[in-house]
Amino acid sequence: MNAAAPILLEMRSITKEFPGVKALADVNLVVRAGEIHAICGENGAGKSTLMKVLSGVYPYGTYDGQIVYQGAETRFSDIRASEHAGIVIIHQELALIPDMSIAENIFLGNEPRKRGAIDWKAANRMALDLMARVGLQEDPDTLIKDIGVGKQQLVEIAKAFAKDVKLLILDEPTAALNEADSRHLLDLLRGFRSRGITSIMISHKLNEIEAIADQITILRDGRTVETLNIQDGVDEDRIVRGMVGRELSSRFPDHTPKIGEVFFEVRDWNVRHPISAERQVCKNESFVVRRGEIVGFAGLMGAGRTELAMSVFGRSYGVFESGTIVKDGKEIVLKSVADAIAHGLAYVSEDRKALGLNLLDDIKASTVAAKLSKISRHGVLDEVREYQAAESYRRDLRTKAPTVDEGVAKLSGGNQQKVVLAKWMFTDPDLLILDEPTRGIDVGAKYEIYGIIQRLADQGKGVIVISSELPELIGLCDRIYTVFEGAITGELARADADPETLMKQMTSTKKMQTR
């Protein structure tokens, strides 16, 4: 349908330089009206920079090249100018105010007025209309903090419609969504397409791109590699090849597990919600981990996997009720994170920027942060040992940074994750709990992180992987537990795990027969 469609947007030989770095070099992008155009590339390939040029975050004059939009060259001076032209960008980190209602958020900065005052009647009516268009069934007075991430995403899109959007740009729209919400969002995008709205979508989830995109532009190292047409039979491997410039023989490194004895066991674990005490977030959960084993935890968003992991990790979540932890045959009580670290547990959180790292630190300080005692004598830190430790992990994990003096805020997602991994490897744990270890990370870095996880297992450590991506769990884990509404509902060996079975157990209330 779209080969003949008129060109809506053309970005011609865009070049954007930062001091010392060429972020974009001669990038070309052609988007036709009414299509879904995906932009792929590894982290640091220049996707976000390109979108910032387009939306006026980097105003005209700070880049070289031309933007032709709706047949005329445009020179946006700021975001307001691009929004005025109908280009709306929805960032991965949602820009909503949690303590305001849906309607208030939709019309924030754009409030319908009557004689100077906000016309709330009209706002609510228009909000309902916009919400219907994105398939969001909620009271417009509901506060943003009371609805899930998936619905918040829809509010963002409704907000874009309030601005009369012609070109919708979504940056990693499904990164934080579970499978059901993702599917809903993709359906929504298809619906927009049939109504003639053009979308640009940045995503690392290649299966989604394959399922939804009409055209795919691949960036690598700040340059346009190619634009693929989905009708020419493009599959995931083809996209990966373009992104990394080489064929990844497999998405997962080859690995023969060396599984030993059970060394870590959680029995009858019960935890209550930290604020509403009547809510039980962990219901009688029990699981075991063997040495050298990679154990997966599958579940939908909100199933309570993170809550389980964090409550085991020194009661860092919720109100502990009952349950025992047995490690190496002995019962241990972990009342604080410090206890957990001392007993050889490590927890790599799902949100590396909010919970995993102090973004003011450099790589050095981040690497040693969870076990300062290892580089200090009588509480006095040894700078040289700190440097050496950080440097050896940087080399070992191939963290891309000129030196370990580099601030972690400057690193890309994949490299930040490597620093977080180094931080926890530095504590010499026996059991590593990795919560969404590859979220928002590009394909090449994912492969490397899988390799690191396998190496850790081969050293005789137990590894727990919590992930919302089923292919990742199936490809990486030796055994997978499924969690639904705070209870463990199933356990599958790698050989028996397939997406359908997992999904069934992830959504069933029936408790499986424990062996």
Residue 361 in contact with other proteins, rule: CB under 8 A = yes
In whole angstroms, what is the distance from residue 207 CA to residue 201 CA? Answer: 13
Q: Residue 322 pairs with which residues in a beta bridge?
A: 270
Nearer to other proteins, 405 or 498 (CB): 405
Which span sits near other proteins by CB under 8 A: 82-90, 360-368, 446-454, 461-469?
A: 360-368
Q: Residue 479 pairs with which residues in a beta bridge?
A: 295, 493
In whole angstroms, what is the distance from residue 185 CA to residue 173 CA? Answer: 8
Cβ neighbour number for residue 226 with a 10 Å cutoff? 11
CB of 174 to other proteins, least distance (A): 12
CB of 358 to other proteins, least distance (A): 4
Residue 8 in contact with other proteins, rule: CB under 8 A = no
Find the binding residues for other proteins in span 292-321 (CB under 8 A). Answer: 313-314, 316
CB of 170 to other proteins, least distance (A): 11
Nearer to other proteins, 321 or 361 (CB): 361
- Helices assigned H by DSSP within 90-119: 102-106
Nearer to other proteins, 97 or 409 (CB): 409
CB of 342 to other proteins, least distance (A): 8
Residue 401 in contact with other proteins, rule: CB under 8 A = yes
Residue 459 in contact with other proteins, rule: CB under 8 A = no
Closest CA to 390 of 417, 363, 353, 408: 363
Residue 344 in contact with other proteins, rule: CB under 8 A = no
Residue 176, SS3? Answer: coil
In whole angstroms, what is the distance from residue 493 CA to residue 491 CA? Answer: 7
User: For residue 280, what is the enclosing H or E element?
Assistant: strand 280-290
| Entry field: residues in the chain | 515
Question: What's the Cα-to-Cα distance from 245 to each of 75, 235, 240, 481, 493, rounded to whole Å?
Answer: 33, 15, 8, 36, 34
Nearer to other proteins, 48 or 489 (CB): 48
User: For residue 22, what is the enclosing H or E element?
Assistant: strand 21-32
Find the binding residues for other proteins in span 244-263 (CB under 8 A). Answer: none
Residue 42 in contact with other proteins, rule: CB under 8 A = yes
Structure tokens at 201: 């979508």
Asked if residues 25 and 58 have their Cβ atoms less than 8 Å apart, the reply is no
Residue 70, SS3? Answer: coil
Nearer to other proteins, 37 or 423 (CB): 423
The binder of other proteins chosen from 284, 376, 501, 508 (CB under 8 A) = 376
Residue 29 in contact with other proteins, rule: CB under 8 A = no
Structure tokens at 41: 């590339």
The binder of other proteins chosen from 67, 106, 294, 341 (CB under 8 A) = 341
Find the binding residues for other proteins in span 177-236 (CB under 8 A). Answer: 202, 204, 221-222
The binder of other proteins chosen from 29, 38, 45, 201 (CB under 8 A) = 45
Residue 65 in contact with other proteins, rule: CB under 8 A = no
CB of 138 to other proteins, least distance (A): 27
Number of residues that bind other proteins (CB under 8 A): 81
Which span sits near other proteins by CB under 8 A: 159-167, 259-267, 408-416, 470-478?
A: 408-416
CB of 123 to other proteins, least distance (A): 31
Q: Sign of the C-alpha dihedral, residues 76, 82, 86, 90?
A: positive
Closest CA to 297 of 434, 396, 136: 434
Find the binding residues for other proteins in span 87-146 (CB under 8 A). Answer: 92-93
CA angle centred on 199, ends 197 and 205, rounded to 5°: 145
Residue 426 in contact with other proteins, rule: CB under 8 A = no
Residue 413 in contact with other proteins, rule: CB under 8 A = yes
Structure tokens at 161: 């419609």
Nearer to other proteins, 222 or 304 (CB): 222
Asked if residues 375 and 368 have their Cβ atoms less than 8 Å apart, the reply is yes
